[in-house]
Amino acid sequence: FRSDLQWILFCADLPSLIQEGPQCGLVALWMAGTVLVPPRGIPLERLVQMAVERGYTAQGEMFSVANMGRLAEEALGCQVELLRGGLGGPNRGRVLQHLVSGHPLLIPYDEDFNHEPCRRKGYKAHWAVSTGVLLGVQGVPSPGYAEDPELPGLFHPVPSVPHQLPSLPEEGSLGAVYLLSKQGKSWHYQLWDYDQVQDSNLQLTDFSPSRAADGRVYVVPAGGVRAGLCGQALLLRP
Protein backbone atom coordinates (compact mmCIF):
# COMPACT_ATOMS: atom_id res chain seq x y z
CA PHE A 1 0.00 0.00 0.00
CA ARG A 2 1.09 3.54 -0.71
CA SER A 3 3.44 4.95 1.90
CA ASP A 4 2.25 8.53 1.30
CA LEU A 5 -1.09 7.67 2.93
CA GLN A 6 -2.17 6.49 6.35
CA TRP A 7 -4.65 3.63 6.41
CA ILE A 8 -7.75 3.13 8.56
CA LEU A 9 -9.62 -0.17 8.62
CA PHE A 10 -13.29 -0.21 9.62
CA CYS A 11 -14.67 -3.74 9.87
CA ALA A 12 -17.66 -5.55 11.36
CA ASP A 13 -16.72 -9.22 11.55
CA LEU A 14 -18.54 -11.69 9.31
CA PRO A 15 -18.68 -15.50 9.44
CA SER A 16 -18.04 -17.46 6.23
CA LEU A 17 -20.35 -19.89 4.46
CA ILE A 18 -19.64 -21.85 1.28
CA GLN A 19 -22.55 -21.95 -1.15
CA GLU A 20 -24.04 -25.10 -2.63
CA GLY A 21 -25.21 -24.48 -6.18
CA PRO A 22 -26.25 -21.00 -7.37
CA GLN A 23 -26.97 -19.61 -3.90
CA CYS A 24 -24.40 -16.80 -3.85
CA GLY A 25 -26.95 -14.05 -3.19
CA LEU A 26 -28.75 -15.90 -0.41
CA VAL A 27 -25.43 -16.89 1.20
CA ALA A 28 -24.35 -13.23 1.10
CA LEU A 29 -27.67 -12.27 2.70
CA TRP A 30 -27.19 -14.94 5.37
CA MET A 31 -23.76 -13.48 6.23
CA ALA A 32 -25.27 -9.99 6.44
CA GLY A 33 -27.99 -11.39 8.68
CA THR A 34 -25.48 -12.39 11.35
CA VAL A 35 -24.67 -8.68 11.76
CA LEU A 36 -28.29 -7.50 11.53
CA VAL A 37 -29.87 -10.23 13.68
CA PRO A 38 -27.06 -11.30 16.03
CA PRO A 39 -25.66 -13.68 16.93
CA ARG A 40 -26.65 -16.24 14.27
CA GLY A 41 -29.04 -14.44 11.95
CA ILE A 42 -31.61 -16.52 10.05
CA PRO A 43 -30.91 -20.10 8.86
CA LEU A 44 -29.94 -20.23 5.19
CA GLU A 45 -32.54 -22.95 4.61
CA ARG A 46 -35.24 -20.52 5.75
CA LEU A 47 -33.99 -17.80 3.36
CA VAL A 48 -34.01 -20.28 0.45
CA GLN A 49 -37.50 -21.50 1.36
CA MET A 50 -38.89 -17.96 1.56
CA ALA A 51 -37.26 -16.95 -1.74
CA VAL A 52 -38.71 -20.01 -3.52
CA GLU A 53 -42.19 -19.53 -2.00
CA ARG A 54 -42.31 -15.89 -3.12
CA GLY A 55 -41.19 -16.70 -6.65
CA TYR A 56 -37.86 -14.87 -6.34
CA THR A 57 -35.81 -17.95 -7.23
CA ALA A 58 -36.04 -21.47 -8.64
CA GLN A 59 -32.89 -23.02 -7.17
CA GLY A 60 -31.22 -20.30 -5.10
CA GLU A 61 -30.23 -17.83 -7.83
CA MET A 62 -31.14 -14.15 -7.30
CA PHE A 63 -31.17 -11.96 -10.41
CA SER A 64 -33.16 -9.10 -8.88
CA VAL A 65 -31.74 -6.63 -6.36
CA ALA A 66 -35.28 -5.40 -5.66
CA ASN A 67 -36.42 -8.93 -4.76
CA MET A 68 -33.35 -9.37 -2.59
CA GLY A 69 -34.30 -6.19 -0.77
CA ARG A 70 -37.86 -7.42 -0.21
CA LEU A 71 -36.55 -10.72 1.12
CA ALA A 72 -34.08 -8.97 3.46
CA GLU A 73 -36.81 -6.71 4.80
CA GLU A 74 -39.21 -9.58 5.46
CA ALA A 75 -36.77 -12.22 6.70
CA LEU A 76 -34.40 -10.05 8.74
CA GLY A 77 -36.75 -7.25 9.75
CA CYS A 78 -34.10 -4.75 8.70
CA GLN A 79 -34.17 -1.38 6.96
CA VAL A 80 -33.36 -1.65 3.25
CA GLU A 81 -32.17 1.05 0.88
CA LEU A 82 -31.91 0.12 -2.80
CA LEU A 83 -29.21 2.10 -4.59
CA ARG A 84 -29.57 2.72 -8.31
CA GLY A 85 -27.15 4.36 -10.70
CA GLY A 86 -24.03 2.58 -9.48
CA LEU A 87 -21.63 3.02 -6.56
CA GLY A 88 -20.16 6.30 -7.83
CA GLY A 89 -21.37 9.91 -7.81
CA PRO A 90 -23.63 10.82 -4.88
CA ASN A 91 -23.98 7.12 -3.94
CA ARG A 92 -20.26 6.84 -3.15
CA GLY A 93 -20.45 8.92 0.04
CA ARG A 94 -23.58 7.10 1.19
CA VAL A 95 -21.91 3.72 0.73
CA LEU A 96 -18.74 4.74 2.60
CA GLN A 97 -20.68 6.31 5.49
CA HIS A 98 -22.75 3.11 5.69
CA LEU A 99 -19.66 0.89 5.87
CA VAL A 100 -17.75 2.95 8.43
CA SER A 101 -20.89 2.66 10.58
CA GLY A 102 -20.52 -1.13 10.48
CA HIS A 103 -23.58 -1.95 8.36
CA PRO A 104 -23.62 -4.50 5.50
CA LEU A 105 -23.63 -3.73 1.79
CA LEU A 106 -24.88 -6.36 -0.69
CA ILE A 107 -23.35 -6.02 -4.15
CA PRO A 108 -23.91 -7.92 -7.41
CA TYR A 109 -20.84 -8.03 -9.65
CA ASP A 110 -19.09 -10.22 -12.25
CA GLU A 111 -16.82 -12.81 -10.62
CA ASP A 112 -13.35 -13.53 -12.01
CA PHE A 113 -11.53 -16.87 -11.56
CA ASN A 114 -10.06 -15.59 -8.26
CA HIS A 115 -13.51 -14.31 -7.13
CA GLU A 116 -12.50 -10.67 -7.66
CA PRO A 117 -14.69 -8.26 -9.64
CA CYS A 118 -14.26 -8.33 -13.42
CA ARG A 119 -16.13 -7.28 -16.54
CA ARG A 120 -17.93 -10.16 -18.29
CA LYS A 121 -21.20 -8.39 -19.27
CA GLY A 122 -23.05 -10.23 -16.51
CA TYR A 123 -22.08 -13.72 -17.70
CA LYS A 124 -20.41 -14.36 -14.32
CA ALA A 125 -22.95 -12.51 -12.19
CA HIS A 126 -22.27 -13.15 -8.50
CA TRP A 127 -23.06 -11.59 -5.11
CA ALA A 128 -20.79 -10.39 -2.31
CA VAL A 129 -21.33 -8.76 1.07
CA SER A 130 -19.13 -6.06 2.51
CA THR A 131 -19.09 -4.90 6.12
CA GLY A 132 -15.74 -3.18 6.04
CA VAL A 133 -13.69 -0.59 4.23
CA LEU A 134 -9.99 0.26 4.15
CA LEU A 135 -9.40 3.98 3.65
CA GLY A 136 -6.14 5.53 2.55
CA VAL A 137 -6.22 9.09 3.94
CA GLN A 138 -3.91 12.07 4.31
CA GLY A 139 -4.11 11.95 8.10
CA VAL A 140 -5.77 10.01 10.91
CA PRO A 141 -8.04 12.11 13.17
CA SER A 142 -7.25 12.12 16.86
CA PRO A 143 -8.28 10.71 19.30
CA GLY A 144 -10.12 7.40 18.93
CA TYR A 145 -7.75 5.44 16.67
CA ALA A 146 -4.92 3.04 17.55
CA GLU A 147 -2.06 1.97 15.30
CA ASP A 148 -1.84 -1.72 14.53
CA PRO A 149 0.98 -3.30 16.58
CA GLU A 150 2.12 -5.44 13.63
CA LEU A 151 1.44 -3.17 10.64
CA PRO A 152 2.83 0.36 11.03
CA GLY A 153 0.70 2.93 9.26
CA LEU A 154 -2.53 0.94 9.69
CA PHE A 155 -5.02 2.27 12.24
CA HIS A 156 -8.20 0.85 13.78
CA PRO A 157 -11.01 2.70 15.56
CA VAL A 158 -10.82 1.97 19.29
CA PRO A 159 -14.03 0.22 20.46
CA SER A 160 -16.24 2.28 22.81
CA VAL A 161 -14.09 5.40 22.32
CA PRO A 162 -15.68 8.35 20.47
CA HIS A 163 -13.83 9.06 17.27
CA GLN A 164 -14.09 11.61 14.51
CA LEU A 165 -14.56 10.19 11.04
CA PRO A 166 -11.76 10.93 8.59
CA SER A 167 -12.40 12.85 5.40
CA LEU A 168 -13.75 10.18 3.06
CA PRO A 169 -11.68 9.98 -0.15
CA GLU A 170 -13.65 11.39 -3.08
CA GLU A 171 -13.58 10.16 -6.65
CA GLY A 172 -10.36 11.27 -8.33
CA SER A 173 -8.77 12.33 -5.03
CA LEU A 174 -5.33 11.36 -3.75
CA GLY A 175 -6.88 8.94 -1.25
CA ALA A 176 -7.75 5.28 -1.78
CA VAL A 177 -10.71 3.04 -0.95
CA TYR A 178 -10.85 -0.76 -0.73
CA LEU A 179 -13.90 -2.82 0.20
CA LEU A 180 -13.41 -5.72 2.61
CA SER A 181 -15.76 -8.35 1.22
CA LYS A 182 -16.82 -11.97 1.45
CA GLN A 183 -18.68 -14.20 -0.99
CA GLY A 184 -19.90 -17.78 -1.06
CA LYS A 185 -16.95 -19.48 -2.77
CA SER A 186 -14.18 -18.71 -0.27
CA TRP A 187 -13.67 -18.80 3.49
CA HIS A 188 -11.52 -15.66 3.36
CA TYR A 189 -11.98 -11.90 3.23
CA GLN A 190 -10.88 -10.17 0.06
CA LEU A 191 -9.80 -6.54 -0.41
CA TRP A 192 -11.19 -5.05 -3.61
CA ASP A 193 -10.46 -1.66 -5.10
CA TYR A 194 -13.66 0.37 -4.87
CA ASP A 195 -13.50 1.56 -8.49
CA GLN A 196 -13.07 -2.04 -9.68
CA VAL A 197 -16.25 -3.10 -7.83
CA GLN A 198 -18.08 -0.04 -9.17
CA ASP A 199 -17.09 -0.81 -12.77
CA SER A 200 -18.09 -4.48 -12.48
CA ASN A 201 -21.46 -3.62 -10.95
CA LEU A 202 -22.22 -1.12 -13.72
CA GLN A 203 -21.81 -3.55 -16.63
CA LEU A 204 -24.14 -6.37 -15.55
CA THR A 205 -26.30 -6.45 -18.68
CA ASP A 206 -26.63 -9.98 -20.13
CA PHE A 207 -27.68 -13.46 -19.03
CA SER A 208 -24.93 -16.05 -19.44
CA PRO A 209 -25.39 -18.12 -22.65
CA SER A 210 -24.02 -21.20 -20.87
CA ARG A 211 -26.66 -20.83 -18.15
CA ALA A 212 -29.35 -20.28 -20.77
CA ALA A 213 -28.35 -23.59 -22.40
CA ASP A 214 -27.88 -25.75 -19.29
CA GLY A 215 -31.49 -26.96 -19.17
CA ARG A 216 -32.21 -25.51 -15.73
CA VAL A 217 -34.93 -23.05 -14.77
CA TYR A 218 -33.85 -19.59 -13.56
CA VAL A 219 -36.01 -16.73 -12.33
CA VAL A 220 -34.95 -13.63 -14.26
CA PRO A 221 -37.00 -10.41 -13.94
CA ALA A 222 -38.68 -8.61 -16.82
CA GLY A 223 -35.94 -6.61 -18.49
CA GLY A 224 -33.38 -9.31 -17.76
CA VAL A 225 -30.09 -9.00 -15.93
CA ARG A 226 -29.77 -5.33 -16.88
CA ALA A 227 -33.05 -4.45 -15.15
CA GLY A 228 -32.46 -6.76 -12.20
CA LEU A 229 -28.82 -6.17 -11.27
CA CYS A 230 -27.05 -3.47 -13.30
CA GLY A 231 -25.80 -0.52 -11.24
CA GLN A 232 -27.75 -1.59 -8.15
CA ALA A 233 -26.81 -2.51 -4.58
CA LEU A 234 -28.46 -2.80 -1.16
CA LEU A 235 -27.67 -0.91 2.03
CA LEU A 236 -28.98 -2.87 5.03
CA ARG A 237 -29.43 -1.48 8.55
CA PRO A 238 -30.87 -2.99 11.75
> Residue 72 is part of a domain; what is its CATH number?
3.90.70
106: domain range? 6-237
Q: Residue 228 falls within a domain, yes or no?
A: yes
Q: Residue 65 falls within a domain, yes or no?
A: yes
Would you name the residues annotated as active-site residues?
24
Q: Mark the ranges of the chain whose per-residue pLDDT is less than 50.
A: none
Residue by residue, DSSP assigns the chain as: --TTSEEEEEE--------SSS-HHHHHHHHHHHHHSTTT-S-HHHHHHHHHHTTS-SSS----HHHHHHHHHHHH--EEEEE-S-SSTHHHHHHHHHHHTT--EEEEEEE-TTS-EE-STTTTEEEEEEEEEEEEES---SSSEEE-SSSTTEEEEPTTS--PPPPPPPTTSS-EEEEEEE-TT-SS-EEEEHHHHHHHHHT-----HHHHTSS------TTHHHHHTTT-EEEEE-
Q: Residue 1 falls within a domain, yes or no?
A: no
Q: Residue 30 falls within a domain, yes or no?
A: yes
Number of structural domains (the chain) is 1
Give the pLDDT confidence score for residue 173 in this predicted structure. 78
pTM, to two decimals: 0.95
- Render pLDDT for 82-123 as a digit per residue (tens, 0 to 9): 999 999 999 999 999 999 999 999 999 999 999 999 999 999
